[in-house]
Each structure stands twice: as C-alpha cells, then as structure tokens.
Amino acid sequence: MSEHEDPKLSRRQLQEQVHALIQQVDRSHDFTGNAFKLFQSVAELESNVERRIQRVARVMN
C-alpha cells in the first residue's frame, strides 16, 4: 500500500471482493439432496472460500 492510499478504502474493497467471491462460490454449488451430499457441498464450499481468501490476502500484501 502506498503512503497516499486510504487504508479504509482498501479494507472496504477487500470486504467487497470477499463478499463477491463467497456469492460466486455459493452459486456454483448445489445445496439440494440428501444430508451427506449437503455435508460434502458445505465442506467443499468451506475449502474453496478459504483458498480464495488466501489468494486475495496474498494479492493485498
């Protein structure tokens, strides 16, 4: 971050990006079906969100 950037702006942008990524992942998963399928979808969703958050964090550093 340069000395002229507003840190609040960067934080807001990061929050917007994370929100958009979560929505994208939500749309890419099927949450209908039996309990085990739902469990698998939630586990995969959690993994995908974590990977994407780590990617965004690396970019922001």
pLDDT in tens, 20-61: 888 887 776 666 667 888 888 888 888 988 998 898 888 887
Q: Is the pLDDT confidence value at 7 over 70?
A: no
pLDDT at 57: 84
- Number of neighbours of residue 15 by Cβ within 10 angstroms: 10
Contact between residue 22 and residue 49 where contact means Cβ atoms under 8 Å apart = yes
- pTM of this prediction? 0.47
